[in-house]
Structure 1
Amino acid sequence: MTLATTHPEIADTLALKRRTMTLALLTTVYFFSYMDRQILAILLELIKADLKLSDGQLGVLSGLAFAIFYAVLGIPVARLADKGNRRNIIAIALAIWSVMTALCGLAQNFGQLLAARIGVGVGEAGSSPPSHSIIADLYPADRRAGAMAIYSLGVVLGAGVGTFIGGTVAHIWGWRVAMLTIGLPGVALAVIVYFFVVEPRRGLSDVDRLAHSHPMPSLATGFSTIWANAAARHLVMAVTITSLVGYALSGWGPSYLQRSLGLSVLQISLYIAPIGTAFAAFSAVMGGKLADRVARKHGLHAQSSMVAWLKVIAFPFVLLFFLSDNLAVALFGYFASLLFASSYLGPTFALLQGLAPVQLRALWAAITLLVINLLGLGLGPAAVGWLSDAFRPTFGDESLRYALVCVGMLTPWAIFHYWRAGVLLHRSEKVTAAG
């Protein structure tokens, strides 16, 4: 018997009292997840020279090899999370991917590095779905976007700090030591998560929905429920296309800065990464707060519309970054794009968790992540690598620049889906209000 089953009121009070600490720890886990996932970006040129790899192979390592296992295994992990202890799943997963990241540093060829990256993907499959579910249970709908925005800081901070630490260590001791340095601390964090993260009662912050809960539907029902919700479909499409572009640009951005703009690994690590992290973190936090504010004033649909408009503003700056030969102008475009484009994750996942049935929150998160990572993470970096190899006979050393531009041009498609989701959510709110 646990505290939750013997004294549910006491357990609920404890969960809510410690939710800030729980959110902080889950954000830290997400930080380690993204740091271990994206460390490869700053190391690509060093790995390419050491192991004699092509851009196509680097693209597979950056995205496809990781994404297939990460995305597919997310579904059974989410099913387990909807039934079992989510905290334990997160702690075990963190330990696995941390060890596998360290093992990347021992690889002697493409095959060994590929196997280790697959291992990272297997481990990280156990992180986000149960984390999304816990956060949704701890925070009510009108505060959920802000909480999810804090959680999404793991993306920008993980990528930025990973680049800073990884690039600096690689400059001094090489890329292999960088992998070990990034990977091993995660094992200690797994122990902390096990002892301190709260496992809340499902539906704790949605009492009205919990009262009408039903036995857990089948996996097929989980897929069909998200497909049947038009707003959810558009949100999944929007975040998938956004992630495809984002993973492609973040995965190859450091290589582009080195090849086309002449920066060194150390310069990117010491100067570009910290500034970019600050802009993206500000965008994520303020975007979440703004999303909560517009939701309270105009309704939840305004969160999706807000993301669409911010992406409209960011799009020209992305193109400026990749099309300018002037370093100062290109960096201005890069930082400006981060300021407006990095706030989408919190509102998107908050909206999806709000639309999901209580018993299927982890599963809906996993389905979303399945699509995001198979198409976004899986194809984004790989497509850039393949396009770069294809463009090389025509553009030479500038092939990577034009490969990135081609992928970046998908952004208006994502904007359409965010806009459409906002329209559908607004209609649903009107129907609910009228009823």
Structure 2
Amino acid sequence: MTAIPASVDPLSGPPGPPPMAPARPDRYAWVVLAFLCFVYVLNFLDRQLLSILAKPIQDEMGITDGQIGLISGLYFAIFYCLVSIPVAWLADRTNRVRVLSLACALWSAATIACGLARTYPQLAVARMTVGLGEAGGVPPSYAIISDYFPRGTRGTALGLFNLGPPIGQALGVAFGASIAAAYSWRDAFIAIGGVGVVTALMVWIFVKEPKRGGLDAPSPGAATVAVEAPAPFLATCRMFFTRRVLLLVALACGATQFVTYASLNFTILFLMREKGMTLNEVALYYALLIGIATSVGMYVSGRLIDRFVTRTKKVYAWVPAIGLLCAVPLFVGFVRAPTWQMALLFLALPMGLNYFYLSPAVALVQEEVRPNQRVLAGALLLLVMNMIGLGLGPTYLGAASDWFRASFPDNSLQMAFYTLVPFYFLAVLLFIALSRAIAREEQAAA
């Protein structure tokens, strides 16, 4: 990064003009990306395993949709979101790879504990511990990737990294449902948690900590020293929440995740209970759908950003806004479909379009802050969007289903899904507001 003039507040805006950077990342950067993506796969697989196995868990423990929504939403998100801030502060000052490895070991051990739980309170505590561990997973990874990939390639790299959720969802559905069908839902938690513990050890051994801001500075010197100095915690938080662009992207993502997490945590239960799918059918057809459709959405959005961002940064807002608008009518078709086969056909495209927001949002935040602020800025982004989306989305949909059950005992989840449509339009409006804020910053810079 170039030296910052004394008249410019280093915490109040983006880090100046783009510096010269290597045209392509080296081979080891791709190895690291593969490791981090696999950790993200496990992160999301462990997170979604509860929703995948909700039906057999309900059958054994006798818990309601509202209770499922609480332990997969609010209870999980409280720990996941709030702990991510001190973890990010620690990672910005210590070895980010070590923080990631220890976090992976913790959430994997907690996943094993979910399989051993005998009561709802025990399951709730285990899920909260999963959230505690997963808080240290994604923000350090964002910063590590940004220090292995130069500007101009980060959208693609983060798009590939963000394949972790769809791959994790697909593998979770395939292996989790298959293990549960052949053995029990408890064995699925234990087996997948064990894989995570081994992966944590491999990350500790094989992934090297990169130099902070090494690809943002053209040469060593005073500017590099300034970049590597830890950013003040409170000042960085104040910068994030007072910069309109950063706050709007977090709120827009939160509104989007309200829909995506609510849907994600109840779609399998909806397909099994109200559309007639079996666990074996879920393991095959739904796993293929979620793996392919969401992966395409993540990757295509990242490529679109790298393709058009040289013309205008407003593409960070327009890509997700257009994707969400196109998804609405197909989502309604998915909810109305009379059979699970037709429901999956309607779901294929909106499942990909729903995830057009993540790669642009992460790339925008990582570009807009200094290298020594990236972990904390990524954690603040996750704090806002996950507290809204992950914390409130599943909690709301589960409570809505319980409320509709008195009047619609056979299709309460269907009625609850309909109520998600207004949140699509709220997210679109927030992305339009983000586009205008970006335009104003571009005009001011010009």
- TM-score normalized by the length of structure 1: 0.92
Find out whether 1:348 has 2:361 as its counterpart: yes
Of 360, 367, 382, the residue aligned with 1:369 is 382
Which structure is higher in helix share? 1
Determine the C-alpha separation between the residues in 2 that align with 1:198 and 1:407.
43
Of 269, 272, 278, the residue aligned with 1:264 is 278
Find out whether 1:101 has 2:111 as its counterpart: yes
- Where does residue 287 of structure 1 map in the other structure? 301
Please list the CA deviations of residues 199-242 of structure 1 after superposition, one character each: whole Å capped at 9, or x if unmatched.
11111222177576485343221221011211111100111111
Find out whether 1:204 has 2:214 as its counterpart: yes
Determine the C-alpha separation between the residues in 2 that align with 1:96 and 1:118.
11
Find out whether 1:18 has 2:28 as its counterpart: yes
- Where does residue 7 of structure 2 map in the other structure? none
Q: Matched residue of 1:248: which SS?
A: helix
Superposition map of 1:174-193 within 5 A:
174-193=184-203
- Where does residue 40 of structure 1 map in the other structure? 50
Find out whether 1:303 has 2:303 as its counterpart: no
- Where does residue 125 of structure 1 map in the other structure? 135
- Where does residue 29 of structure 1 map in the other structure? 39
Determine the C-alpha separation between the residues in 1 that align with 2:401 and 2:444.
49
**What letter corresponds to residue 150 of structure 1 in structure 2?**
L
Task: Note if contact 1:27-1:154 (Cα within 8 Å) is conserved in structure 2.
Answer: yes
Task: Give how far 1:17 is off.
Answer: 4.6
Find out whether 1:82 has 2:88 as its counterpart: no
**What letter corresponds to residue 178 of structure 2 in structure 1?**
T
Task: Note if contact 2:169-2:290 (Cα within 8 Å) is conserved in structure 1.
Answer: no
- Where does residue 227 of structure 1 map in the other structure? 241
Please list the CA deviations of residues 252-293 of structure 1 after superposition, one character each: whole Å capped at 9, or x if unmatched.
000000122111121111112112211211221122112110
Task: Note if contact 1:68-1:373 (Cα within 8 Å) is conserved in structure 2.
Answer: no
**What letter corresponds to residue 375 of structure 1 in structure 2?**
I
Of 380, 384, 401, the residue aligned with 1:388 is 401
Identity %: 33
Task: Give how far 1:422 is off.
Answer: 2.0
Determine the C-alpha separation between the residues in 1 that align with 2:361 and 2:438.
12
Determine the C-alpha separation between the residues in 2 that align with 1:417 and 1:32.
31
Find out whether 1:322 has 2:335 as its counterpart: yes
Determine the C-alpha separation between the residues in 1 that align with 2:191 and 2:206.
24
- How many pairs are equivalent? 419
Q: Matched residue of 1:207: which SS?
A: coil
Please list the CA deviations of residues 321-380 of structure 1 after superposition, one character each: whole Å capped at 9, or x if unmatched.
112224443222200112322232111100011112322111111111112222211111
Superposition map of 1:164-175 within 5 A:
164-175=174-185
**What letter corresponds to residue 155 of structure 2 in structure 1?**
A
Please list the CA deviations of residues 286-311 of structure 1 after superposition, one character each: whole Å capped at 9, or x if unmatched.
22112110113x22221321221111
Task: Give how far 1:185 is off.
Answer: 0.5
Task: Note if contact 2:290-2:351 (Cα within 8 Å) is conserved in structure 1.
Answer: yes
Determine the C-alpha separation between the residues in 1 that align with 2:229 and 2:190.
45
Q: Matched residue of 2:162: which SS?
A: helix
Divergent runs of 4+, >6 A: none
- TM-score normalized by the length of structure 2: 0.90
Mean Cα deviation higher: 210-219 or 419-428: 210-219
Determine the C-alpha separation between the residues in 1 that align with 2:281 and 2:404.
27
Determine the C-alpha separation between the residues in 1 that align with 2:421 and 2:101.
35
Task: Give how far 1:23 is off.
Answer: 1.0
Task: Give how far 1:146 is off.
Answer: 1.0
**What letter corresponds to residue 54 of structure 2 in structure 1?**
L
- Where does residue 9 of structure 1 map in the other structure? none
Task: Note if contact 1:304-1:418 (Cα within 8 Å) is conserved in structure 2.
Answer: yes
- Where does residue 110 of structure 1 map in the other structure? 120
Task: Note if contact 1:149-1:343 (Cα within 8 Å) is conserved in structure 2.
Answer: no
Q: Matched residue of 1:427: which SS?
A: helix
- Where does residue 253 of structure 2 map in the other structure? 239
Task: Note if contact 1:145-1:347 (Cα within 8 Å) is conserved in structure 2.
Answer: yes
Q: Matched residue of 2:363: which SS?
A: helix
Task: Note if contact 1:147-1:346 (Cα within 8 Å) is conserved in structure 2.
Answer: no
Determine the C-alpha separation between the residues in 2 that align with 1:327 and 1:67.
30
- Where does residue 6 of structure 1 map in the other structure? none
Q: Matched residue of 1:396: which SS?
A: coil
- Where does residue 4 of structure 1 map in the other structure? none
Determine the C-alpha separation between the residues in 2 that align with 1:121 and 1:240.
18
- Where does residue 54 of structure 1 map in the other structure? 64
